[in-house]
C-alpha cells in the first residue's frame, strides 16, 4: 500500500486555544484510518482541515502528492454527523440533487443498491429511521464516486443492530478500494473497521498504529477489574493495580496466580470481571478517561 494522504506538522489555534498542535501522520491508499479522541482533543478540527473546510495556521496536507486545492473536492466524499436535507424530497430525489453538484456521478440505481436503499428510496427522507437515514447520507457522500471518504461519527444514535448493518456496508465499500477516514466514539466500531488508528488528546497524537499492535504494546494477558477498596500491601506490590472510575484494574498474564493471591489476601471479589483489553482500555490508560465518557465531560467542538 502506497502513502496516499500525508499530514505534516499541522497546527490550528482558536484565540488562546491550540486545538491542533503540530501533528503528523500518513494514510496508505485503500485502508480505513480512524482518528480517535475525546471532544476537545482536536480530531474534528483536524478532519475539517483535511476536508478543506477549515484553513490550517501552519503545516501541510498532501493528497497523492498534491496540496488540496479547488476542484479536488470532486474526489472527496463527506458524511457529516448532521446534514440538513431539503424538505419534501425522497431519498432518490436527494441523490439526484447531490449528483447535479458534480461533473461525474455514480449511476443512481447502482448507488441505491450499494447502500441498500431499495425498500425506501421513494419515501420522504424525513420519515426514515435512524439507520435508513445514515445509509442515505452515506449514499450522498458516495454520489461522486470519491477516492477518499470521510465519515464523522456515522453510527451515533443507532441501535446495535443498525450499527452492525452499517459496519457491513462500510467494509463492502472499503473492498471497492476507497480510502476511508473515520471518527467515532465507539471503540468496538474502531476495532471492527479500522486498519490503522491515531489517538489524539489535547491537540497531539499520543498513539498511532494498528489496533491489535497498540493493544499488544500496552497490555499483556488480561485485565482484572475489582471494585474500589483498600487493597493489602502484598497485592499492591505484586499486581501494581491502577485505580480508575471507582475500580481497580490489574493487567496480568498470570490469571490463576493473581486470582489465588487475591483470595489468599482476603480481597473482596464481588463484581470481579476478567476480560481481554480493548481500545477503550487503551484510551483509558493513555488519557485517564474513557473515550465515550468524554462526551459528557467535554462540550467543546474542536
What is the CATH topology of the domain spanning 3-211? Answer: Rossmann fold (3.40.50)
Helical H segments across 220-298, by residue range: 233-239, 255-264, 279-287, 294-297
Q: Phi and psi at residue 49, in whole multiples of 5°?
A: -70, -40
Domains of the chain: which residue ranges?
A: 3-211, 216-297
Asked if residues 228 and 248 have their Cβ atoms less than 8 Å apart, the reply is: yes
Task: Spell out the per-residue pLDDT of the chain, length 302, in tens.
Answer: 467 899 999 999 998 899 999 999 999 999 999 998 877 888 889 999 999 889 999 999 999 888 877 667 788 999 987 788 889 999 999 999 999 998 889 999 999 999 999 999 999 999 999 889 999 999 999 999 999 999 988 888 888 888 898 999 999 999 988 999 999 888 889 999 999 999 998 899 999 999 999 998 888 888 999 998 999 999 999 999 988 778 899 989 899 999 999 999 999 999 899 988 888 888 888 876 655 554 444 434 44
CA angle 224, 226, 232 (to 5 degrees): 105
Amino acid at each position: 500500500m502506497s502513502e496516499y494522504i500525508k499530514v505534516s506538522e499541522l497546527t490550528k489555534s482558536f484565540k488562546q486555544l491550540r486545538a491542533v498542535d503540530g501533528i503528523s501522520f500518513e494514510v496508505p491508499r485503500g485502508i480505513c484510518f480512524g482518528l480517535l479522541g475525546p471532544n476537545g482533543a482536536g480530531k474534528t478540527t483536524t478532519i475539517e482541515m483535511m476536508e478543506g473546510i477549515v484553513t490550517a495556521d501552519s503545516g501541510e496536507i498532501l493528497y497523492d502528492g498534491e496540496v488540496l486545492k479547488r476542484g479536488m473536492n470532486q474526489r472527496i466524499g463527506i458524511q457529516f454527523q448532521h446534514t440538513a436535507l431539503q424538505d419534501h424530497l425522497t431519498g432518490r430525489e436527494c441523490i439526484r440533487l447531490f449528483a447535479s453538484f458534480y461533473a461525474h456521478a455514480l449511476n443512481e440505481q447502482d448507488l441505491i443498491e450499494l447502500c441498500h436503499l431499495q425498500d425506501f428510496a421513494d419515501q420522504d427522507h424525513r420519515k426514515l429511521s435512524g439507520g435508513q437515514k445514515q445509509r442515505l447520507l452515506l449514499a450522498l457522500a458516495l454520489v461522486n464516486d470519491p477516492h477518499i471518504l470521510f465519515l464523522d461519527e456515522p453510527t451515533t444514535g443507532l441501535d446495535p443492530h443498525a450499527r452492525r448493518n452499517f459496519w457491513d456496508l462500510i467494509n463492502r465499500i472499503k473492498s471497492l478500494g476507497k480510502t476511508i477516514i473515520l471518527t467515532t466514539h465507539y471503540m468496538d466500531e474502531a476495532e471492527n473497521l479500522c486498519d490503522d488508528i491515531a489517538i489524539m488528546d489535547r491537540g497531539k497524537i499520543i498513539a498511532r498504529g494498528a489496533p491489535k499492535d497498540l493493544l499488544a504494546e500496552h497490555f499483556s494477558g488480561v485485565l482484572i477489574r475489582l471494585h474500589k477498596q483498600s487493597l493489602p500491601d502484598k497485592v499492591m506490590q505484586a499486581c501494581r493495580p491502577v485505580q480508575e472510575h471507582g475500580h481497580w484494574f490489574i493487567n496480568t498474564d498470570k490469571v490463576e496466580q493473581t486470582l489465588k493471591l487475591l483470595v489468599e489476601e482476603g480481597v473482596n471479589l464481588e463484581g470481579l470481571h476478567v476480560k481481554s483489553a480493548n481500545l477503550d482500555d487503551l484510551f483509558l490508560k493513555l488519557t485517564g478517561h474513557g473515550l465515550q465518557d468524554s462526551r459528557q465531560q467535554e462540550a467543546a467542538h474542536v
